[in-house]
Amino acid sequence: MEKMPFQLELNKATTMIAQPTTATTTTASTNWKTALPVLTGSNFTLRELQLQDAASLLAMLSTEEVTRFISPPPKTLEGFERFIEWAQRERKAGNYICFAVVPRGCTTAVGIFQIKSLENGFANAEWGFALGSSFWGTGIFAEAARLVVDFAVDVLGTHRVEARASVANGRGNGALRKLGAVQEGVLRRSFLRHGAYHDQVLWAIVADDWRLQRMAPASALAH
């Protein structure tokens, strides 16, 4: 989750120019290379990133709290616009998906969920997320994360979803554990941030385990 594609891909763009969730997926059968479906949660939606999201993402994802454990986001409105354009191109190419998190009552994004293919197709994928700190603790993350994993498993056909979180990122690691991800190891000195290398925890969700988890009663998932 730390290695958001902000800087590396923006540089390329510049040179080129639980329980089963009660939320629903609308148009889930659509061709996602043409357009992402809208995933509807209890008090938010997940949808395609749009250029009008650039200003709100700049405000929400540039704070010290949010950027502490992720790749530095763009510093300008134009930088976020280039990122959004890059994300749309990569989705059309079938390499990358990025959902905007839009809470009820808002019209623009306050966070993102990404799924990046690790091989041809999405059989193995890496996911990451960033959410404005004012929306931490609201329940949006947990519900949205389940929708995104459901989409990966049921629509993309993903067999294995990986995530990486800094060992020091207690909140991120706790969220992944609560979601049902399995800690598989520690990647030593694998993430460069502020000139220093940091250890990361490698987490994974396997499709068969995820399907079993969705069938579990709510009482079992609460523990």
* Residue 123 placed within a domain: yes
Extract the runs of DSSP E, i.e. beta strands, from 73-142.
96-103, 111-117, 124-131
116 in any annotated domain: yes
Domain count, the chain: 1
Structural domain contains residue 115: yes
Is position 153 within any domain?
yes
Q: What is the pTM of this model?
A: 0.85
pLDDT tens-digit map of 47-98: 999 999 999 999 999 999 999 888 889 999 999 999 999 999 999 999 999 9
How many degrees, rounded to 5, is the angle at CA 5 between CA 16 and CA 179? 155
Q: Report the distance separating Cα 73 and Cα 32, nearest Å.
A: 26
Token output for 20: 């089963």
Q: Which domain holds residue 185?
A: 6-221
Please report whether residue 210 resides in a domain: yes
- Which CATH number goes with the domain that contains 25? 3.40.630.30
Position 12, amino acid: K
Task: State the greatest distance between any 2 C-alpha atoms of the chain, in Å, as a whole number.
Answer: 53
Say which range, 10-19, 31-40, 150-159, has the weakest mean pLDDT. Answer: 10-19
**Residue 155, C-beta contacts closer than 8 angstroms, at least 6 positions apart:** 25, 28, 32, 37
User: Does residue 1 fall inside a structural domain?
Assistant: no
Q: Evaluate whether residue 209 is within a structural domain.
A: yes
Q: Which helix (H) or strand (E) holds 76?
A: none
In a domain, 147, yes or no: yes
What's the pLDDT tens digit per position in 184-223? 999 999 988 888 899 999 999 999 999 999 987 654 555 4
